[in-house]
Amino acid sequence: MRARWISIVLAAVTAASLTACGSDSANTANTAPTAGSTSGSGVSGPITVFAAASLTESFTQIGKDFEAANPGTTVTFSFAGSSALATQINQGAPADVFASAAPANMKTVTDAGNADGTPQNFAKNQLVIAVPKGNPKNITSLSGLAQPGVKVALCAPQVPCGAAAQKALQAANVQVTPVTQEQDVKAALSKVTLGEVDAALVYRTDAKAAANDVDAVEFPESASAVNEYPIVVLKNAPNQAGAQAFVNYVLSPAAEQVLTNAGFQKP
């Protein structure tokens, strides 16, 4: 009889142990992070993004949205001409992500071995002629920039907006002698808003952002000088996980909508 009771007790203990194990497994399965959730994603800390000046407004918004979707991250931007940013990266400037306004400037970074992976295009942009509100010089085409007495600002040739401007002017067979050549598109646009020039060739997105101060004159030759915008994680990124997460976000529908609202086109 005593042996029979011992057997019953052992059976009960074994059953209880199995039940407990099953319960623990179920609880673990129910509390595991779901795919795409921030919890357990490993995304945190500061992320430094070098981005073309023409991305200032849209990337500032995208950065805020990214931080809201990924608590614990802080995105810091350095906006400038893509050529200057590429030079800084190749000279060892600490950054996690590079977003260029043209493939040529991105290529200088990839050729130097400073990119981690293949750059991906996330937007494209076209030029317009930015003029003061009301278009006092009545500039309606690229040929209007060559009129006597018209002061024009262009981006420097090594800057994406400058290279695009040269392509467009060549397509229109128009020669323009600018009074100034700026190192980024925002600087060229500021010459118009400050009243220092009568017109500037800038991106459509920049003219839209400054719509209270300038009018945008479209011209057909801009179609021959469309700039693609590539983005990539940098090889020596201090925050590799954060950098990749930010690049993924820029390629997401949410960021695409921000870019579209700013006037960018889909790549």
Residue 199 lies in a domain: yes
Contacts 24+ apart (CB under 8 A), 172-176: 172/141, 172/142, 172/143, 172/219, 172/221, 174/142, 174/143, 174/145, 174/146, 175/146, 176/142, 176/145, 176/146, 176/152
Q: What is the pLDDT of residue 27?
A: 35
Q: What is the overall mean pLDDT for the chain?
A: 88
Residue range 170-212, pLDDT digits in tens: 999 999 999 999 999 999 999 999 999 999 999 999 999 999 9
Q: What is the pLDDT of residue 34?
A: 31
Say if residue 218 is in the same domain as residue 138. Answer: yes
Q: What is the pLDDT of residue 41?
A: 58
Average pLDDT over residues 30-46: 51
Say if residue 147 is in the same domain as residue 100. Answer: no
pLDDT at 233 over 80: yes
Q: How far apart are CA 81 and CA 186, in angstroms?
A: 9
Q: How far apart are CA 250 and CA 59, in angstroms?
A: 9
Residue 27 lies in a domain: no
The pLDDT-based confidence of 72 (bands split at 50, 70, 90) is very high
Say if residue 206 is in the same domain as residue 74. Answer: no
Q: What is the pLDDT of residue 231?
A: 98
Q: What is the pLDDT of residue 35?
A: 31
Say if residue 212 is in the same domain as residue 250. Answer: no
The residue with greater pLDDT, 31 or 99, is 99
Q: What is the pLDDT of residue 121?
A: 98
Say if residue 250 is in the same domain as residue 163. Answer: no
Range of the domain at 254: 45-124+228-262
Say if residue 132 is in the same domain as residue 207. Answer: yes
Say if residue 138 is in the same domain as residue 196. Answer: yes
Q: How far apart are CA 137 and CA 76, in angstroms?
A: 40
Say if residue 133 is in the same domain as residue 120. Answer: no
pLDDT at 29 over 60: no
pLDDT at 3 over 50: no
Residue range 126-170, pLDDT digits in tens: 999 999 999 999 999 999 999 999 999 999 999 999 999 999 999
pLDDT at 20 over 90: no
Q: What is the pLDDT of residue 13?
A: 39
Q: How far apart are CA 242 and CA 140, in angstroms?
A: 45
Average pLDDT over residues 237-256: 98
Average pLDDT over residues 236-241: 97
Share of the chain above pLDDT 70, in %: 84
Share of the chain above pLDDT 90, in %: 84
Q: How many CA atoms lie within 13 A of 200 on its CB side?
A: 32
pLDDT at 9 over 70: no
Residue range 88-102, pLDDT digits in tens: 999 999 999 999 999
What CATH number should be reported for the domain holding residue 153?
A: 3.40.190.10
Give the number of domains in the chain.
Answer: 2
Which pair of tokens denotes residue 1? 């009889």
